[in-house]
Chains A and B, each alone.
Chain A
Amino acid sequence: NAGVMQNPRHLVRRRGQEARLRCSPMKGHSHVYWYRQLPEEGLKFMVYLQKENIIDESGMPKERFSAEFPKEGPSILRIQQVVRGDSAAYFCASSPLQPIYNEQFFGPGTRLTVL
């Protein structure tokens, strides 16, 4: 059973470009969480999704950021018109259909560098 997959592992973008980060949850998991780790800072919650639904997006910046988890395919975190402050490691985690006690399994992360 493969773990949580994220791609790309490293992504370089110039200011103003778009960044698309993908997360494939563990098999059988239908809950996905996105977290961001800014340089020299701790992890911060961004968004919680179930298939075709955004459950909690209270950690998402109000502009330029969006997330989806379609019925088929990976979850996508999309950042439009990137700025240098978006440079960070973005982690996704998944949990099973019934996330009893909220056990979450983390992916390896995508390191975004904005030039």
Chain B
Amino acid sequence: KNEVEQSPQNLTAQEGEFITINCSYSVGISALHWLQQHPGGGIVSLFMLSSGKKKHGRLIATINIQEKHSSLHITASHPRDSAVYICAVAETSGSRLTFGEGTQLTVNP
């Protein structure tokens, strides 16, 4: 079993829909990251959070430390949101990141 599990693996939505991607982890962490990887492969850091909730534009990330679970929400989705979304955790024992397998999101117009 992976230390970081994401669901769903693939997600197709219509433009305008509300999207949720989930991440569960099994290790102690100091922080959780949500990353975005576009076709062409570059990686952009969306959020880093250790508690509560963060919002940036149409993106919202939440984390529940007790339940070891985080969610990434996209409101009013748009085709340009199509990308792979990756959850990664920084373990308390060091600085390395451990990654989920990613969620491929496709938003159709």
Contact = CB atoms under 8 A, between A and B. Distances in A.
Given A101-B48, A106-B35, A109-B41, A48 B90 contact: no
A111 interface: yes
Interface of A: 31, 33, 35, 37, 41-45, 48, 55-56, 58-59, 89, 91, 93, 95, 99, 101-106, 108-109, 111
Contacts of A37: 41
- Chain B interface size, as a band, is 20 to 34
B44 A102 contact: no
B54 to A, nearest CB: 12
Contact of A43 (B42, B48, B86): B86
Contacts of B102: 42
Contacts of A102: 30-31, 48, 90, 95, 97
Contacts of A108: 41-42
Cβ-closest 3 pairs across A and B:
A102-B90, A106-B43, A43-B99
